[in-house]
Chain A
Amino acid sequence: MTELIFFINQVVISGAVLGCIYALGAVGITLVFGILRFAHFAHSELMTSGAFFAFLLAGAFAAWGITAPIPMGFVVLPIAMVISAIFALGIDKGFYAPLRKRGAKPVTLLIASIGVTLMVQGLIRLFFGAGSYSFFETETKDVFRVDLSAFGSTRPLVITEPQLLMIVVTALSVIALHLFLTRSRLGKAMRAMADNADLAQVSGINTALVVRVTWIIAGALGCMAGTMLALDVTLKPDLAFNIIIPIFAAAIVGGLGQAYGAIAGGLLIGFAESLAVFNWTMVLRPLNAILPEWLQLPATLAFVPTEYKLTVAFVILVVTLLVRPTGIFKGASS
């Protein structure tokens, strides 16, 4: 039992948290790809800037003497998401829309998104330097320890308050997104445009409006993902830039353009990373009692060494691209 709890603490919880962040990021990337047909690298900067918006708001709220029972990062999240959505719309209007109007190829937009990445990152570093910040400088990070000695475990189940909230908020967002895409007129129009942009235009769908809605969702969910990442670890200017490829991996594994695939892909990559570096010896140690002397387990028995954790996502990405570029889930559109 102790071993199982250890496994849950090390793999299930950290994998779920990581998976949630990847999933929220990947949804934005996959929606932008579905509607605008280009790989939007600057999504990492929507996430990072969103986290900084939330950080500034949290600081301001604390300065105004507002207190809340949950971490301030979550309290200000809705406002930060609105700001991020406006920011994303501004980036589109300023940098991508003029290129689209000229009829530029998707690859030009991809390169433009690199330009945007560099500019936004440069600006963030200009204002905040290269150091790292924490949401928990003034408040404490609550840690729940669920005592499971009744079940024969000597270890408690450990989860922090932000982690718990993160999983709940992600689940709620996914449900909301699902309802939006399947029930609302605009959500269906988004799916229609991702399916067949020409026919969507012919049907009289206001494609410019759909593009705007896409950026609003991408910006808002990006902000959510970035803020959560910053709440789980620390906030720094290259916060999301470092994980943009795992996020792309999640989107591609799920099939670019497919929102549900991105969520599944995000969770898959998150769990894969946690599982790959998990030290199996901790769980299999009881076996040492029955194993012969020469077959005792080594101190660490992980599938890959910890320093290669991020590499797991890259390997999954490359293998997916080679074996099944349309994603592991059956592509719905032909």
Chain B
Amino acid sequence: MALIELKHVVGGYGGAPILNGVNIAIEPHDIGVIVGPNGAGKSTTLKAIFGLLKVTGGTIEFGGENVANSLPDRLVPKGLSFVPQEKNVFTSMSVEENLEMGAFTRKDDFRATMAWVYEMFPVLAEKRRQPAGELSGGQRQMVAMGRALMSKPRLLMLDEPSAGLSPRYVIEIFETIVRVNKEGVGILMVEQNARQALAFASKGFVLASGQNRFTGTGPELIADPEVAKSFLGG
């Protein structure tokens, strides 16, 4: 059974729908990457899953139940986490407090998870007492991912994790994502660096005008001449 499955999802911010029937299915071991032109509804899809905009049609099944229009404080305990693209750290709070906020919904002892996050991002352990606002862009992205991992998600969603990062950090972030996936966390991400991301994606979705245009494994999509021509810049 799929970890998450979107069937014909329609939704938007109240006006004309932005999503016009999106289909996505991710297994627990998958890294799913959504690519597509600007305004295709990539980020909107993630927000729709996370209850941040109104879903008016279709179903979103997570762990076997329809979670369409559920709010984050119900989704996070179910094992769903989201890293927004911008403003994704609490700038006035320390790194450690940022991580604690990720574990807000957990009632159990989360120290082991925190140790795991520090192990994954050793630089954060060094700066645990520093306000997150003082960190560099790449380090902030790590804080944001760390915060999202603190709830021990089964599916981690990332909105353009590589945006605005230097090439060295882009590779580092992608490597971390693969590592997280190996630890048993499903990944669903939106990426502008389409070629680079599809290269390690087990599932790729090309969206345009709020609909699926192509679906396949990452390498398949890269190899498809039509996808390459229209969406990957030749």
- Hey, which bits of chain A sit against chain B, CB under 8 A? 185, 188-189, 191-192, 195-196, 198-207, 332-334
Q: How far is the CA of A332 from the CA of B105 in the complex (A)?
A: 26
Mask: chain B, 68-100; 1 = CB below 8 Å from A; 0 = not: 000111011100001010011111110001001
**A334, B89: Cα distance in complex, Å:** 12
Count contacts on B: residues with CB < 8 A to the other chain: 27
**Among A191, A199, A205, A334, residue most surrounded by chain B Cβ atoms (within 10 Å):** A199
Tell me if A333 and B92 are in contact (CB < 8 A).
Answer: yes
Q: Is B42 in the interface zone, CB < 8 Å from A?
A: no
Interchain CB contact under 8 A, B91 and A205: no
Q: Which of A189, A207, A332, A333 is B101 in contact with, Cβ under 8 Å? A: A189
| Contacts A/B (CB < 8 Å), 17 sampled | A185-B104, A192-B97, A192-B101, A195-B91, A196-B89, A198-B84, A199-B84, A201-B71, A201-B73, A202-B72, A204-B104, A204-B105, A204-B151, A205-B73, A205-B104, A205-B105, A332-B133
Which residues of B in the span 34-54 have a Cβ within 8 Å of any Cβ on A? 50, 52
A200 to B104, CA, bound (A): 10
Given A202-B84, A204-B151, residue A192 in contact with residue B93 (CB < 8 A): yes
Do A203 and B93 touch (CB < 8 A)? no
| Given A189-B104, A191-B93, A205-B104, A199-B77 contact (CB < 8 Å) | no
Q: Is there an interface contact between A196 and B90, defined as CB atoms closer than 8 Å? A: yes
A196 near B100 with CB under 8 A, answer no
CB of A196 within 8 A of CB of B75, answer: no
Give B136-153 as 1s and 0s: 1 = Cβ < 8 Å from A's Cβ atoms. 000000000001000100
8 Å CB contacts to A: which residues of B95-128? Answer: 97, 100-102, 104-105
Contacts of B77 in A (CB 8 A): 204
Cβ of B131 within 8 Å of any chain A Cβ, yes or no, is yes
Q: Which residue in chain B gives the minimum CB-CB distance to A188?
A: B97
Q: Which 6 A-B pairs have the closest CB atoms?
A: A204-B76, A332-B92, A204-B105, A195-B90, A192-B101, A205-B104
**How far is the CB of A244 from the nearest CB of chain B, in Å?**
27
- Chain A nearest CB: distance from B82 CB in Å? 5
Asked if B92 contacts A204 (CB within 8 A), the reply is: no
- Docked CA distance A205–B101 (Å): 7
Task: Given A188-B97, A198-B84, decide whether A203 and B102 contact each other with a Cβ distance below 8 A.
Answer: yes
Q: Which residues of B contact A (CB under 8 A)?
A: 50, 52, 71-73, 75-77, 82, 84, 87-93, 97, 100-102, 104-105, 131, 133, 147, 151
Q: B77: nearest residue on chain A (CB-CB)?
A: A204
| Set of chain B residues within 8 Å of A334, measured between Cβ atoms | 91, 133
Extra pairs beyond A188-B97, A206-B104, A332-B133 (6, CB < 8 Å): A188-B100, A195-B91, A198-B84, A199-B89, A202-B52, A202-B84
Partner of A206, one of B73, B75, B84, B133: B73
Nearest opposing residue in chain B for A258, CB measure:
B92
A202 in contact with B82 (CB, 8 Å): yes
> For A198, what are the chain B residues with a Cβ–Cβ distance below 8 Å?
84, 87
B147 lies within 8 A of A203 (CB):
yes
Considering the chains assembled together, what is the distance between the CA atoms of A199 and B147 in angstroms?
11
Q: Tell which of B52, B101, B131 touches A203, judged by Cβ atoms closer than 8 Å.
A: B101
Which residues of the partner chain B approach A207 to less than 8 Å between Cβ atoms? 73
Pairwise interchain contact A333-B91, C-beta atoms closer than 8 A: yes
Q: Which residues of B contact A189 (CB under 8 A)?
A: 101, 104
Question: Most B CB atoms within 10 A — which of A188, A202, A205, A206?
Answer: A202
Cross-interface CB contact of B76 among A196, A203, A333, cutoff 8 Å: A203
Chain A residues lying within 8 Å of B89, measured Cβ to Cβ, are 196, 199
Closest to A186 in B: B104
- CA–CA, A201 to B75, complex, Å? 11
- Measured CB to CB, the closest approach of chain B to A191, in angstroms, equals 6
A195 to chain B: which residues have CB within 8 Å? Answer: 90-93
Contact residues in B for A192 (Cβ distance below 8 Å) = 90, 93, 97, 101
Contacts of B90 in A (CB 8 A): 191-192, 195-196, 199-200
Measured CB to CB, the nearest residue on chain B to A182 is: B97
A198 to B86, CA, bound (A): 11
| Given A199-B84, A203-B102, A205-B104: A188 in contact with B93 (beta carbons within 8 A) | yes
Tell which of A201, A207, A334 has the most Cβ of chain B within 10 Å. A201
Name the distance in Å between A103's Cβ and chain B's nearest Cβ. 10
